[in-house]
Structure 1
Amino acid sequence: MTPRPFLALALVALLAGCSPAAEQPDPSVVSTQQALDVGRRLAQCARDHGYPDMPDPQIEANGDRLVWPGDGRDVKEQLRALQEQVPECKAIMDEMAALGTPRSAEPPSAADMEKLKAFAKCMRDHGIDGFPDPKADGTFPLVGTPLENEGKSERVLTAMDACKGIYDKKIAVS
């Protein structure tokens, strides 16, 4: 199974929208190891409460992001069910959301920002209306938009495929 980086981001987006407003730590301080530790506890909680196929998250090869292996839609559905039905797991999800999104402390270079803006325009040009320009930290603000819930639909995957040559690094959402 191939890790799904966007699923990790979708998870953070899903969790961020459902957690109480809490003071967010400095994102440069939140490590992927912290997120991995909480993610593993969440996966174990899921398995303990009737979701035996929930995989453990992993740290991506370059070490800058948490990913969940397997079928992205299936994991996302399991996480939604856990949030609604299992208070023990919801508490862990809230803890993960409070961590924020682990990301590099380095903001993108001016050249990378131009590429990210071109990527956003390309996504809009390929049918993803409302795809936002990146924030100063290089993330795309999708949380709270209809695109957050759409995930990797066929039309999003088609647009991403058309735009993949514009920016060859990881794309992150916030």
Structure 2
Amino acid sequence: MTRRPFVVIALLAVLAGGASACSSGSGGPGASPSASFDSERALSIGRRFAQCARDHGYPAFPDPVVQDGNLAWPGEVPDLKDQIRTIMEQQPECKAIMDESMSLGDPHRDTTPSAQDMEKLRAFAKCMRDQGIEGFPDPKPDGTFPLVGTPLEQEGKSERVLTAIDACKHLYDKKIAIS
């Protein structure tokens, strides 16, 4: 069985869809799960999301597993990230389940970003604004972007947001999180 790279559930909630938003890495070599990540709760949320997806027209949507400290969906599911995004956009009850994951944290995220990473995060935020995402905030001292409860969170991964993310991801190539 071939294993695909999987998405951390907290990142799926980034901009209401998480995929991995701006993520291209998995926390890097030697990353270890943080004490604040609750893998049992993540697995429970992931299973509820999978059932919601199956109940709403995705009968083959797989149940998740915890793999290397990440919530992952095993198997070869074509366009899994797109399916998750579509489900969250079209099914508010499924999105509400996934939104619970925001409190879990990222199992590979250091609690305090380095000064260099903070500089990169600020450059990423400025780039997002330069790309037309008005009001995209600078990161908080913990490295998270305060988007919860904002119109940007509600907008989710619209085409304009995805285009901006694509244009800015070269500035910060690690996972991002929202608060």
TM range (shorter): 0.5 to 0.7
Mapped to 1, the partners of 2:167 and 2:71 lie a distance apart of 25
Aligned to 1:23: none
Structure 1 residues 130 and 99: alpha-carbon distance in aligned structure 2, compared to 1, 3 A threshold: closer
Q: Deviation of residue 70 (structure 1)?
A: 3.7
Q: Is the 8 A contact 2:45 2:100 kept in 1?
A: no
Q: Does 1:38 align with 2:45?
A: yes
Structure 1 residues 2 and 30: alpha-carbon distance in aligned structure 2, compared to 1, 3 A threshold: closer
CA offset digits 1:11-41 (Å, max 9, x no partner): 69xxxxxxxxxxxxxx842334531233113
Aligned residue pairs total: 148
Structure 1 residues 141 and 29: alpha-carbon distance in aligned structure 2, compared to 1, 3 A threshold: same
Mapped to 2, the partners of 1:30 and 1:4 lie a distance apart of 15
TM-score by length of 1: 0.65
Q: Does 1:158 align with 2:170?
A: no
- Between the two structures, name the one with larger relative contact order (CA 8 Å, sep ≥ 6): 2
Residue from 99, 103, 123 that aligns with 1:100: 103
Structure 1 residues 119 and 50: alpha-carbon distance in aligned structure 2, compared to 1, 3 A threshold: closer
Identity, in percent, stands at: 54
For the aligned residue pairs, the C-alpha RMSD in angstroms reads 3.4
Q: Greater share of helix residues, 1 or 2?
A: 1
Find the residue that maps to 2:104 and give its secondary structure: coil
Q: Deviation of residue 58 (structure 1)?
A: 5.7
Q: Deviation of residue 102 (structure 1)?
A: 2.0
Q: Is the 8 A contact 1:2 1:70 kept in 2?
A: no
Mapped to 1, the partners of 2:142 and 2:175 lie a distance apart of 13
Mapped to 1, the partners of 2:147 and 2:131 lie a distance apart of 17
TM-score by length of 2: 0.64
Structure 2 unaligned regions, length at least 5? 19-33, 74-79
Find the residue that maps to 2:140 and give its secondary structure: coil
Letter in 1 for 2:123: A
Mapped to 1, the partners of 2:94 and 2:169 lie a distance apart of 33
